[in-house]
Amino acid sequence: MSTRMHAVSQRSFGGPEVLELVETERPQPGPDEVLVRVRAAGVNPADWRIRSGEVRRFGEPPFTLGLDLAGEVEAVGAGVSRFGPGDRVFGVALLPRGAYAEYAAVPQDRLAAVPPGLDLVQAAALPTAGLTAWQPLTHHAPVRAGQRVLVHAAAGGVGHLAVQIAKARGAYVIGTARAAHHPFLRELGADELIDYTRTDFTTALRDIDTVLDPVAGDYGPRSLAVLTPAGTLLDTRGTGPDRTTTRHLAAELGLRYVEFGFTPAAADLARLAALAERGQLRAAVAELLPLAEAAAAHRLSESGRVRGKIVLSVG
């Protein structure tokens, strides 16, 4: 059996053109790791932020990008008890050994089983965006039946999953999105929609219990204006000055503000899978591109006009 594989690597920070398809050594799983034969890899905004050098927490290149993956277990480390060869799994790769590759060695606590009714492309679209929607809406500001939840960028990767999760928990769900996306969001269960290009949501809404904001910028301070006194603003995107301004304003107003970053967690991945199996959660795949076209996938993602998710087909 060959010990080589194809992967998309980068040798420097920069634009999409730094991504190149290379042949490299197949990773070996550590004691608590699972070697996954990757069939599909999700593309997230975090990927191109890392590629460009905006986010540098993973050190200097070369490395392989990609957080989200789905595929079959090829082999397991000596300490792995939850999975065996042939099992279908999905989850979050551990950078810098990312998911844009034919094989990835992933800690078992970052993986969950793919239910029988879920295909691997759909599964690969779920982990990062799904956890970014699920964890704040269930752990940090648990949504209850009858609450009013506002989701910004509702047609985006995080947003369209947040709409479905909040709806599954019994909320009245409002989304901001361009009018062209409104039929799509109504199919997902949104109760009310606001075209942000024509209407300022702060003039149209009041008494919101929870706002999920993957946009940041001025959306944070403006969102505080529509909350109930006991409401919560969940910021899944803001950085630096964005968060500083919103944090100070929330404190002045006595409102709850949560700065959120997702945690790869097998239990939460399993809950997402259960929702998907029951038909309450569907990742909309806007584009399915071959692994060799990772640069084109990044250009699409950076455009900010993707409805749902982009996925790379690995084979």
Residue 161 reports pLDDT greater than 70: yes
Q: Inform me whether the pLDDT recorded for 184 exceeds 70.
A: yes
| pLDDT category of residue 269 using cuts at 50, 70 and 90 | very high
* Cα-based angle 279, 310, 273 (whole degrees, multiple of 5): 30
pLDDT tier for residue 266 given thresholds of 50, 70 and 90: very high
Whole-number Å distance between alpha carbons of 53 and 32 = 30
74-114 pLDDT, tens digit each? 999 999 999 999 999 999 999 999 999 999 999 999 999 99
Q: Residue 169 pLDDT > 80, yes or no?
A: yes
pLDDT for 116 equals 93
Q: Tell me the mean pLDDT in the region 239-261.
A: 87
**CA distance linking residue 161 with residue 60, whole number of Å:** 32
How many CB atoms lie under 10 A from the CB of residue 304? 10
The conformation of residue 97, written as its DSSP 8-state character, comes to B
Of 205, 261, 283, nearest in space to 49 by CA = 261
Bridge partners, residue 311, by sequence:
42, 288
Look at residues 97, 106, 98, 27 and name the one whose alpha carbon lies nearest to residue 72: 106
Digit-coded pLDDT (tens) for 126-154: 999 999 999 999 999 999 999 999 999 99
Tell me the three state secondary structure of residue 5. strand
Q: What is the mean pLDDT of residues 227-239?
A: 90
Strand 68-76 relative to strand 88-92, pairing: antiparallel
H or E element at residue 158: helix 157-168
pLDDT reading at 1 higher than 70: no
Is the separation of the CB atoms in 152 and 315 below 8 Å?
no
Residues facing 212 on adjacent strands? 151, 234
Q: Tens digits of per-residue pLDDT, 36-56?
A: 999 999 999 999 999 999 988
For residues 247-258, average pLDDT: 94
% of the chain surpassing 70 pLDDT: 98
Is residue 240 pLDDT above 70, yes or no? no
Residue 247 near residue 259, CB atoms below 8 Å: yes
